[in-house]
């Protein structure tokens, strides 16, 4: 069953039934200032950091689940309704929610009144616009009442939902004309306030929640709205809100438009006040003036569209398969921008207070984003590397506001450092900008310890070399990519988190996943050294890689697949010998991608084993059989019920690693089949089961051993976005940036006749057409650039013209 449809032309998903199986959300904002908005108007807004600078309040895990947001109420006679259906939940005559590229539009109608709400954040602006259009389509004159509503968060989202003995006394507001200012804590250590405005005179307002709501009413039926009369309340403590009240009279056919703005202001200490206890409102007024008419809003909205035209225009495909095209051309790229911005901080599953920016997560997110805005990717790489320690280890996470490592989350995840080599090499291949390597980057955010960025990569590489276990395989540390495989943890205490609890200090467990990862990114490190003339460095590193390959062949092969690990006691994990968890996806993915034992047939056997033991109708599960009881020596992985999350769930992030492995074997049909199993647009028809948005990837789909296989959770913020984009474009469609040009090496389903792809690379546009006349999966027979036949399958970096044509014939 579907709850809407794709509108590819407008790059929107159009939801036509508000009762989606879970809130289907969108993100507004591209840099610094962001909002989350659900298909029924739920969500919240923050500046840079969803923990430390939250503007509006949102209650996670609410009943019903999505309650609280940026709301509008219309009172027409005795009927109260909302254009986004919620909060009023009055049955509408029509409802539509269009989630587009950084904007959302609602359109609801009731009894001849049509109301549209357009929400977006203009580029480079610290404010959300809500443009409300109310039209009378009836034949009578209508007098209606419009109420807006936001609930302020007292900035620190964690404190806001826990520290009531203080919070209920601190709330402060100011009201001037049509602008409601939120200034809690401004008089002490804060240099910021928020405001909520509308571009015309109002007929009343409320700023105190209970005065507006009434003590016993919910968001669906605020007392002020039911009474058709605001109370003009001024909040002192309790819960400050912002609600405007406007009386509207509309002749038949007439419409009126209003521009609301939810904004954020920061001030220098000396400019904070206008007079005693009165905040300096000038910056807010300037912001309001910037968009005080629908014409000005339209210009900003057009700019936003233009921005996305340009970003998405860098990679566009025409494959003949709509579902694939809309993923690659629109939604997957869009999601990559969102994961780049949010890491794992704020979604409807991530509460915005705990996770900040992940070291491994953000490095991986970058590979799906770097082609869009390479300058931002460069800055991000430096931010991440700055949190690394001199021995190559790093903080697992950092706060976006301070860019400092988050000490409470700790470190010692021994895969973390290697991902920095991935992001850096992908950045340089995309841009050709080797200067990043010379950039002075601090260790542990301490400039006195700064070294050229290249030294960070070296530290990353040698962190593995310096931390090998008894089988000469990498020590896992707290955990590797699978941060639930806590092999040195041995936690007995339900009050401690597996993610932060003290590890056994002499942790001996070893990881085959890190071994594969090390070989893949070790080779990248070597390749990079060769590019910049560091021959000696390269051959030294190559020696360590060769030893790692030997160690995997020697002690990492289980007969039909790669082992997953050795546990603390030196016992095998992910082996035929184990009763449960006999085979894991991660080591099959990484050792295959590394090509370890390719000649001996290991890669093929491993991927065949994945197909046989891990594949199911909804994707590839992480491990099999799933654990049915708690294994203290394995940790969190065995805490999840069978079939969920890291215990036998389809953890979508890692499925592309297998797809890439398949493309190395040339099995294009298999790679693509895996792709279509988890790509959301292919799951639209089973939305009822899948539950989450059909336009973005989710972290986890319940696996074959789950109670409800196919049911998904944790949409949006997952490395799934970047890995799938990377895999489909660079390994399946096979257009891959290299230091010296674009490598063209597709691995597609045999049945395809070919496809077209437009790729902007280093400022130059390539129109690539791939033809598959004899129906093979892989193998470039001929390649022509501007009609000229090339040797090999690399399109060199061309700068003479801005547009080039490339013809590729497979065979």
484 lies in the site for ligand NOJ, by CB under 6 A: yes
User: Binders of ligand BGC: how many residues, by CB under 6 A?
Assistant: 6
Question: From the CB of 409, what's the least distance to ligand BGC, in Å?
Answer: 8
- Residue 586 interacting with ligand BGC (CB under 6 A): no
Phi/psi for 298 (5° steps) reads -60, -40
Specify the DSSP element, H or E, that contains 194.
Answer: strand 192-198
d(CA 309, CA 314): 9
Site string for ligand BGC, 472-511 (x = CB under 6 A): -----------xx--------------x------------
483 contacts ligand NOJ (rule: CB under 6 A): yes
The SS3 call for residue 53 is coil
Which of the choices ligand BGC, ligand NOJ, none does residue 360 contact, using the CB cut-off of 5 to 8 A by kind? ligand NOJ
Closer CB to ligand BGC, 640 or 731, in the complex: 640
Return the residues of window 334-353 that contact ligand BGC according to CB under 6 A.
none
DSSP state of 630: -
Q: Are 187 and 205 in contact (CB under 8 A)?
A: no
The DSSP code sequence of 86-99 is: TTTTPPPSEEEEEE
Minimum CB distance to ligand NOJ smaller for 197 or for 363: 363
759 binds ligand NOJ (CB under 6 A): no
Using alpha carbons, select from 119, 444, 56, 155 the residue that is nearest to residue 259. 119
How many angstroms separate the CA atoms of 581 and 499, rounded?
21
Q: Is the N-terminal amide bond of 625 cis, ω within 30° of 0? A: yes
Instruction: Compare residues 597 and 648 and give the one whose CB is closer to ligand BGC.
Output: 648
Distance of CA 514 to the CA centre of its chain: 24
Q: How far apart are CA 310 and CA 438, in angstroms?
A: 30
Shortest distance in whole angstroms from residue 23 CB to ligand NOJ: 21
182 binds, among ligand NOJ, ligand BGC, none (CB under 5 to 8 A by kind): none
Min dist CB 293 to ligand BGC, Å, is 45
Q: Pick from ligand NOJ, ligand BGC, none: which does 262 bind, CB < 5 to 8 A by kind? A: none
Our answer to whether residue 483 is catalytic in this structure is: yes
**Residue number with CB closer to ligand BGC (615 or 636):** 636
Binds ligand BGC (CB under 6 A): choice among 12, 116, 646, 693: 646
β-bridge mates for residue 562, sequence order: 557
Of the two residues 362 and 687, which places its CB atom closer to ligand BGC in the complex? 362
Partner touching 661 among ligand NOJ, ligand BGC, none, CB below 5 to 8 Å by kind: none
| By CB under 6 A, residue 705 contacts ligand BGC | no
Nearer to ligand BGC, 75 or 360 (CB): 360
For residue 502, what is the DSSP state? P
| Residue 358 interacts with which of ligand NOJ, ligand BGC, none, CB < 5 to 8 Å by class | ligand NOJ
CB of 359 to ligand NOJ, least distance (A): 9
Residue 284 is inside which H or E element, if any?
helix 282-290
Backbone Cα Rg of the chain: 28
Using the rule CB under 6 A, is 482 a contact of ligand NOJ? Answer: yes
360 binds ligand NOJ (CB under 6 A): yes
The SS3 assignment for 607 reads helix
Q: What's 374's DSSP letter?
A: H
Q: Is 650 in the site for ligand BGC (CB under 6 A)?
A: no
- Residue 778 CB, nearest distance to ligand BGC (Å)? 34
Which residue, 354 or 452, is less far from ligand NOJ as judged by CB?
354
Q: What minimum distance in Å lies between the beta carbon of 415 and ligand NOJ?
A: 8
The binder of 81, among ligand NOJ, ligand BGC, none, by C-beta within 5 to 8 A per type, is none
Give the whole-angstrom CA distance, residue 16 versus residue 2: 9
Pair 635, 485: CB distance under 8 Å: yes
Least Å from the CB of residue 645 to ligand BGC: 5
Distance between CA atoms of residues 228 and 583, nearest Å: 63
- Decide if residue 478 touches ligand NOJ (CB under 6 A): no
Q: Please work out the total of residues on this chain that contact ligand NOJ, with binding judged by CB under 6 A.
A: 9
- Contact criterion met (CB below 8 Å) for 500 and 410: yes
Chain positions 440 to 459 lying near ligand BGC, rule: CB under 6 A, are none
Stretch that binds ligand NOJ, among 50-58, 256-264, 328-336, 477-485 (CB under 6 A): 477-485
Angle between helices 720-727 and 668-678 (to 10 degrees): 150
Residue 645 or 667: the one with the smaller Cβ distance to ligand BGC is 645
The answer to whether 574 and 563 have CB atoms below 8 angstroms apart is yes
Q: Residue 638 — φ and ψ, nearest 5°?
A: -90, 5
User: Considering CB distances under 5 to 8 angstroms, the limit depending on partner class, which of ligand NOJ, ligand BGC, none binds residue 499?
Assistant: ligand BGC
Helix (H) or strand (E) holding 484: none
Give yes or no for a cis peptide into 207 (omega within 30° of 0): no
Who's near 624: CB < 8 A, 6+ residues apart?
A: 581, 582, 583, 613, 614, 648, 705
Pick the binder of ligand NOJ from 41, 352, 358, 649 (CB under 6 A): 358
Residue among 125 and 481 whose Cβ is closer to ligand NOJ: 481
Name which position in 182, 478, 582, 645 contacts ligand BGC (CB under 6 A): 645
> What's the CA angle centered on 367, arms 362 and 370, to 5 degrees?
100
Contact 20, 86 (CB under 8 A): no
Could you say whether residue 646 binds ligand NOJ (CB under 6 A)?
Answer: yes
Kindly tell me which of 319 and 623 has the beta carbon lying closer to ligand NOJ.
Answer: 623
Could you say which of 258, 308, 481, 640 contacts ligand NOJ (CB under 6 A)? 481
Q: Is 537 in the site for ligand BGC (CB under 6 A)?
A: no
> What is the distance between the alpha carbons of residues 752 and 775, in angstroms, rounded to a whole number?
7
Residue 344 binding ligand NOJ, by CB under 6 A: yes
Residues 607-636 touching ligand BGC, rule: CB under 6 A, are 636
Identify the bridge partners of residue 206 per DSSP, sorted by sequence position. 233, 243
CA dihedral 759, 364, 7, 311 (to 10 degrees): -40
Give the largest CA-CA distance in the chain: 84
- Active-site hit among 480, 483, 558, 567: 483
Pick one of ligand BGC, ligand NOJ, none as the site partner of residue 104 (Cβ within 5 to 8 A by kind): none
- What is the length of the chain? 811
Pairing of strands 510-511, 565-566: antiparallel
Please tell me whether residue 284 binds ligand NOJ under the rule CB under 6 A: no
Q: Between 338 and 609, whose beta carbon lies closer to ligand BGC?
A: 338
Q: CA–CA distance from 350 to each of 36, 49, 653, 716 (Å)?
A: 12, 13, 16, 10
Dist CA 62 CA 706 (whole Å):
25
For residue 24, the partner it binds in ligand NOJ, ligand BGC, none, with Cβ less than 5 to 8 A by kind, is none
Which residues have a catalytic role annotated? 483
Interaction site with ligand NOJ (CB under 6 A):
344, 358, 360-361, 481-484, 646
Q: Which residues bind ligand BGC (CB under 6 A)?
A: 483-484, 499, 636, 645-646
């Amino acid at each position: 069953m579907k709850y809407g449809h794709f509108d590819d032309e407008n790059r929107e998903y159009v939801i036509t039934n508000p009762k989606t199986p879970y809130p289907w959300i969108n993100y507004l904002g591209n840099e610094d200032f962001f909002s989350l908005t659900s298909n029924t108007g739920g969500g919240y807004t923050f500046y840079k950091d969803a923990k430390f600078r939250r503007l509006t309040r949102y209650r996670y895990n609410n009943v019903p689940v999505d309650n609280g947001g940026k709301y509008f109420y219309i009172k027409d006679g005795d009927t109260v309704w909302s254009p986004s259906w919620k909060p009023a939940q009055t049955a509408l005559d029509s409802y539509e929610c269009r989630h587009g590229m950084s904007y959302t539009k609602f359109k609801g109608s009731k009894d001849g009144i049509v109301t549209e709400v357009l929400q977006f954040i203009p580029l480079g602006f610290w404010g959300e616009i809500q443009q409300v259009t109310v039209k009378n389509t009836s034949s009578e004159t209508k007098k209606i009442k419009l109420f807006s509503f936001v609930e302020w968060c007292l900035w620190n989202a964690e404190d806001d939902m826990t520290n009531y003995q203080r919070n209920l006394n601190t709330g402060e507001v100011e009201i001037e004309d049509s602008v409601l200012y939120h200034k809690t804590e401004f008089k002490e250590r804060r240099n910021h306030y928020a405001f909520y405005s509308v571009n015309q005179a109002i007929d009343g307002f409320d700023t105190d929640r209970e005065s507006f709501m009434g003590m016993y009413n919910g968001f669906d039926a605020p007392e002020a709205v039911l009474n058709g009369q605001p109370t003009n309340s001024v909040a002192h403590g309790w819960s400050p809100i912002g609600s405007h009240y406007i009386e509207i009279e509309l002749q038949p056919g007439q419409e009126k438009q209003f521009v609301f703005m939810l904004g954020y202001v920061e001030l220098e200490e000396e400019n904070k006040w206008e007079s005693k206890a009165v905040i300096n409102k000038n910056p807010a007024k300037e912001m309001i003036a910037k968009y005080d008419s629908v014409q000005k809003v339209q210009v900003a909205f057009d700019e936003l569209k233009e921005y996305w035209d340009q970003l998405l225009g860098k990679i566009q495909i025409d494959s003949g398969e709509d579902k694939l095209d809309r993923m690659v051309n629109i939604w997957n790229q869009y999601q990559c921008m969102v994961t780049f911005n949010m890491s794992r901080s704020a979604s409807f599953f991530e509460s915005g207070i705990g996770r900040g920016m992940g070291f491994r997560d953000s490095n991986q997110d970058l590979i799906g984003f770097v082609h869009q805005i390479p300058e931002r990717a460069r800055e991000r790489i430096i931010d991440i590397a700055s949190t690394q320690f001199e021995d190559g280890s790093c903080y697992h996470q950092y706060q976006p506001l301070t860019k400092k490592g988050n000490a409470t989350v700790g470190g010692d995840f021994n895969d973390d450092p290697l991902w920095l080599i991935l992001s850096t090499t992908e950045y340089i291949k995309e841009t050709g900008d080797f200067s990043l390597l010379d950039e002075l980057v601090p260790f542990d955010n301490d400039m006195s310890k700064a070294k050229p960025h290249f030294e960070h990569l070296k530290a990353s590489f040698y962190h593995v070399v310096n931390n090998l276990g008894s089988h000469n395989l990498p020590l896992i540390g707290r955990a590797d990519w699978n941060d639930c495989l806590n092999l040195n943890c041995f936690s007995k205490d339900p009050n401690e988190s597996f993610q932060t609890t003290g590890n056994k200090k002499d942790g001996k467990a070893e990881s085959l996943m890190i071994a594969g990862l090390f070989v893949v990114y070790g080779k990248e490190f070597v390749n990079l050294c060769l590019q910049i003339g560091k021959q000696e460095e390269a051959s030294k590193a190559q020696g360590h890689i060769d030893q790692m390959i030997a160690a995997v062949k020697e002690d990492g092969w289980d007969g039909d697949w790669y082992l997953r690990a050795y546990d603390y006691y030196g016992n095998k994990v992910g082996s035929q010998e184990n009763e449960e968890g006999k085979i894991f996806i991660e080591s099959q993915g990484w050792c295959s991608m590394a090509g370890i034992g390719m000649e001996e047939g290991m890669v093929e056997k491993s991927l065949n084993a994945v197909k046989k033991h891990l594949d199911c109708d909804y994707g590839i599960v992480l491990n099999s059989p799933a654990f049915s009881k708690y294994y203290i020596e394995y940790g969190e992985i065995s805490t999840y019920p069978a079939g969920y999350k890291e215990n036998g769930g389809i953890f979508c992030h890692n499925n592309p690693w297998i797809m890439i492995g398949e493309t190395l074997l040339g099995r294009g049909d298999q790679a693509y089949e895996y792709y279509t199993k988890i790509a959301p647009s292919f799951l639209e028809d089973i939305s009822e089961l899948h539950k989450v948005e059909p336009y973005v990837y989710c972290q986890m789909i319940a696996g074959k051993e789950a109670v409800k296989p196919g049911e998904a959770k944790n949409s949006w913020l997952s490395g799934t976005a970047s890995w799938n984009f990377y895999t489909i474009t660079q390994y399946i469609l096979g257009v891959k940036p290299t230091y010296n040009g674009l490598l063209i090496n597709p691995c597609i389903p045999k049945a395809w006749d070919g496809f077209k792809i437009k790729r902007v690379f280093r400022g130059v546009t390539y129109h690539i057409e791939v033809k598959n006349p004899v129906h093979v999966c892989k193998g470039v027979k001929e390649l022509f650039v501007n009609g000229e036949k090339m040797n090999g399958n690399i399109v060199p970096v061309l700068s003479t013209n801005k547009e080039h044509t490339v013809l590729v014939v497979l065979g």
